[in-house]
Amino acid sequence: MKIHNYSAGPCILPKSVFKKAAESLVNYNESGLSIAEISHRSKEFMAVMENSVKLVKDLMKVPEGYEILFLQGGASMQFYMSGLNLLPEQGTAAYINTGTWSSKAIKEAKLLGNIHEVASSKNENFSYIPKKFDVPHNASFLHYTSNNTIFGTQFKEAPNTDLRLVCDMSSDIMTKEVDIKKYDLIYAGAQKNLGPAGVTLVIVKKDALGKTGRTIPSMLDYQVHIDKESMFNTPPCFSIYTTMLTMEWLKEIGGVEEIQKRNLTKSSLLYDEIDRNSLFEGTAKTEDRSVMNPTFILRDKLLNDEFLQRSIDAGISGIKGHRSVGGFRASMYNALDIKSVEALVNLMRDFEKSKG
Amino acid sequence: MKIHNYSAGPCILPKSVFKKAAESLVNYNESGLSIAEISHRSKEFMAVMENSVKLVKDLMKVPEGYEILFLQGGASMQFYMSGLNLLPEQGTAAYINTGTWSSKAIKEAKLLGNIHEVASSKNENFSYIPKKFDVPHNASFLHYTSNNTIFGTQFKEAPNTDLRLVCDMSSDIMTKEVDIKKYDLIYAGAQKNLGPAGVTLVIVKKDALGKTGRTIPSMLDYQVHIDKESMFNTPPCFSIYTTMLTMEWLKEIGGVEEIQKRNLTKSSLLYDEIDRNSLFEGTAKTEDRSVMNPTFILRDKLLNDEFLQRSIDAGISGIKGHRSVGGFRASMYNALDIKSVEALVNLMRDFEKSKG
Could you tell me if B190 and B207 are in contact, meaning their C-beta atoms sit under 8 angstroms apart?
A: no
The CA-based dihedral angle spanning residues A41, A44, A47, A48, taken in that order and rounded to the nearest 10 degrees: -90
Question: How does the average pLDDT of chain A come out, rounded?
Answer: 97
pLDDT in tens, A167-222: 999 999 999 999 999 999 999 999 999 999 999 999 999 999 999 999 999 999 99
Interface of B with A in 76-95 (CB under 8 A): 76-77, 79-80
Q: Which residues contact B335 (CB under 8 A, 6 or more apart)?
A: B11, B12, B13, B14, B17, B193, B246
Each residue of B130-142: pLDDT tens digit?
Answer: 999 999 999 999 9
Task: Write out pLDDT tens, residues B103-120.
Answer: 999 999 999 999 999 999
Give B-chain residues touching A12 at CB under 8 angstroms: 37
* Tally of CA atoms within 13 A in the half-sphere of B64 that contains its CB: 0
Report the residue from B7, B77, B234 with minimal CB separation from A74: B234
Exposed, middle or buried by CB within 10 Å (0-12, 13-18, 19+), for B167? buried
**Mean pLDDT value of segment B60-75:** 98
DSSP assignment of A270-324: HHHHHHH-TTEEESS-GGGB-SS--EEEESSGGGHHHHHHHHHHTTEES-BPPTT
- Portion of chain B with pLDDT greater than 90, in percent: 99
Is A221 a catalytic site residue? no
Put simply, the answer to whether B10 touches A40 (Cβ < 8 Å) is yes
Quick check: B238 contacting A, CB < 8 Å? yes
C-alpha to C-alpha distance for B221 and B25, rounded to whole angstroms: 31
Which phi and psi (to 5°) does residue A237 adopt?
A: -55, -50
Annotated active-site residue B249? The verdict is no
CB contact under 8 A, B197 and A23: no
Based on DSSP, count helices (H) and strands (E) in chain A, helices before strands.
9, 14
Identify the pLDDT of residue A318.
96
Chain centroid offset of residue A331 CA: 11
Q: Does the structure show a pLDDT above 90 at A1?
A: no
Enumerate the residues of chain A whose CB falls inside 8 A of the CB of residue B36.
10, 13, 18, 196-197, 242
Contact B76 A215 (CB under 8 A): no
Rounded Cα distance between B320 and B8, Å, is: 10
List of residues 6+ apart from A170 with CB closer than 8 A: A74, A75, A101, A145, A147, A187, A188, A189, A192
Gap between the Cα atoms of B347 and B352, Å rounded: 9
Radius of gyration of chain B measured on its C-alpha atoms = 21
Give the whole-number percent of chain A exceeding pLDDT 70: 100
A 10 A CB-CB count for A275 gives 12
Q: String of b and e for B88-123 (b: at least 16 CB within 10 Å)?
A: eeebbbbbbbbbbbbbbbbebbeebbbbbebbbbee
Number of H helices, E strands in chain B: 9, 14
Verify whether the Cβ–Cβ distance A111 to B215 is below 8 Å: yes
Q: CA A287 from chain center: how many Å?
A: 20
A16 at B interface, C-beta within 8 A: no
d(CA A84, CA B290): 39
Looking at the predicted structure, is the pLDDT value of residue A31 above 90? Answer: yes
A181 flagged as catalytic: no
Whole-number mean pLDDT of chain B? 97
pLDDT tens digits, A100-130: 999 999 999 999 999 999 999 999 999 999 9
In chain A, what is the straight-line distance between the N-terminal and C-terminal CA atoms, in Å? Answer: 28
Parallel, antiparallel or unpaired: strands B295-298 and B280-282: antiparallel
Taking the domain B254-354, which CATH number applies?
A: 3.90.1150.10
Q: Given CB atoms, is A5 within the 8 Å cutoff of chain B? A: yes
- CATH architecture assigned to B15-252: 3-Layer(aba) Sandwich (3.40)
Is residue A154 classed as helix, strand or coil in its secondary structure? strand
CATH topology of domain A255-355: Aspartate Aminotransferase, domain 1 (3.90.1150)
User: Are B9 and A38 in contact (CB < 8 Å)?
Assistant: no
Listed residue (A351, A344, A245, A262) closest to A5, CA to CA: A344
Query: pTM score, two decimals?
Result: 0.98
The pLDDT value given to residue B231: 97
Buried b (16+ CB within 10 A) or exposed e, A301-322: eeebeebbebbeebebbbbbbb
Q: Domain-by-domain residue ranges, chain A?
A: 15-252, 255-355
Supply the pLDDT for residue B356: 79
Angle (CA) B60 B6 A43, round 5°:
120
CA-nearest residue to B32 within chain A is: A3
How high is the pLDDT of residue A184? Answer: 98
Determine whether the interchain pair A40/B197 forms a contact, defined as Cβ–Cβ distance below 8 Å: yes
Tell me, what DSSP letter sits at residue A205?
E
pLDDT at B1 over 90: no
Q: What is the mean pLDDT of residues A305-323?
A: 97
pLDDT tens sequence across B10-26: 999 999 999 999 999 99
B28/A83 Cα distance (integer angstroms): 39
Confidence (pLDDT) at B206: 98
- Using a CB–CB cutoff of 8 Å, tell me whether A236 touches chain B: yes
* Dihedral (CA of A24, A30, A34, A40) sign: negative
